[in-house]
Structure 1
Amino acid sequence: MQIGDLSEKSGVNIETIRYYERIGVLPIPARMSNGRRTYGEADAQRLCFIRNARELGFDLASVRVLLALQEQPEASCEDASRIAQSQLDAVEDRIARLTNLKTELRRMIAECRLGQVADCRIIDAMAGGRP
């Protein structure tokens, strides 16, 4: 299949596919006599793996490790579990920060008296008047 077909099948943008090839998470494909890239089913499966991992928030370094682990089916999945736990910890940390942000925004809005900007609690809070 050609790159457009791979893009459609995997749901990954063509430029992203090329980027993944450049950084080595997707192998450089064979080329036809006209110079066009040609891909196989294994490439599509690998690309879907990468897309799914990225959608779960894994960075490319983690994706590389997970791809390497996938190629060792008899190995322990301890490393995969450690990587997933680290990602979960990061997600929980982001959720906590977003929850605090939500609380602060609600407080700022509640304190706004809808008067003049000179007396606006929202503008004051962002200007550093109240951390």
Structure 2
Amino acid sequence: MQKPSVAPGLTSGALAESAGVNVETLRFYERKGLLPTPPRRASGYREYPTEDVQRIRFIKRAQELGFSLVEIKELLALRVRPGATPADVKTRSEEKLADIRRKIASLKAMEKALKKLNATCSGHGPMAECPILHHLEGDL
């Protein structure tokens, strides 16, 4: 009777290529606790489970949506936490959305202030009379 074959794991290079990241990204995720440190083959090479491709893609997509690494770690933990529900995930997503909206409002206020400040400056004349520099120095 033959022993069932087990799918071999991935080396660091193969995992990085499959997930669309570089090997240093894998090490970084390991240090941050986002990716478990894999066992090593007899040759000394790390052997990552194939499921880690999906995990890394999850991390990258979450980063693209503005989630911090700490928040991503929390989302990953929710996936396996007994008693956790989709409502827990939605709450974190809503919190992130509120945070993004606050940042957008702050950026819009900065834009308005800079537009106003730029309107005071002709871009000509002596540097000592530059209204933008005077404002930044607190002279206005």
Equivalent residue for 1:16?
25
CA distance in 2, matches of 1:77, 1:3: 32
> Which of structures 1 and 2 has the bigger CA Rg?
2
Equivalent residue for 1:77?
86
CA distance in 1, matches of 2:36, 2:65: 22
Secondary structure class of the residue paired with 2:119: helix
1:119 aligns with 2:115: no
CA distance in 2, matches of 1:8, 1:126: 47
Question: How many residues in Structure 1 have an aligned counterpart in Structure 2?
Answer: 130
73 and 46 in structure 1: CA distance in 2 versus 1, 3 angstrom threshold? farther
1:90 aligns with 2:99: yes
> Percent same amino acid among aligned pairs?
38
Q: Of residues 6, 12, 16 in structure 2, which corresponds to 1:3?
A: 12
TM-superposed deviation, 1:52: 1.1
More helix by share: 1
Paired AA for residue 81 in structure 1: K
- Give the root-mean-square deviation of aligned CA atoms: 1.9
Paired AA for residue 31 in structure 1: R
TM-superposed deviation, 1:22: 2.2
TM-superposed deviation, 1:72: 5.6
Secondary structure class of the residue paired with 1:64: helix
TM-superposed deviation, 1:35: 1.0
1:65 aligns with 2:74: yes
Deviates more, 1:63-72 or 1:31-40: 63-72
After TM superposition, where is structure 1 displaced by more than 4 Å over at least 4 residues in a row? 72-75
Equivalent residue for 1:25?
34
Equivalent residue for 1:45?
54
Paired AA for residue 133 in structure 2: I
TM-superposed deviation, 1:108: 1.5
Deviates more, 1:13-22 or 1:43-52: 13-22
CA distance in 1, matches of 2:43, 2:95: 45
Equivalent residue for 1:100?
109
TM-superposed deviation, 1:11: 2.4
CA distance in 2, matches of 1:38, 1:73: 28
Could you report, residue by residue, the CA deviation over 1:59-91 in whole angstroms, capped at 9, with x for unpaired residues? 222212211222369842111111111111111
List gaps (5 residues or longer) in structure 2: 1-9
128 and 13 in structure 1: CA distance in 2 versus 1, 3 angstrom threshold? farther
Equivalent residue for 1:128?
138
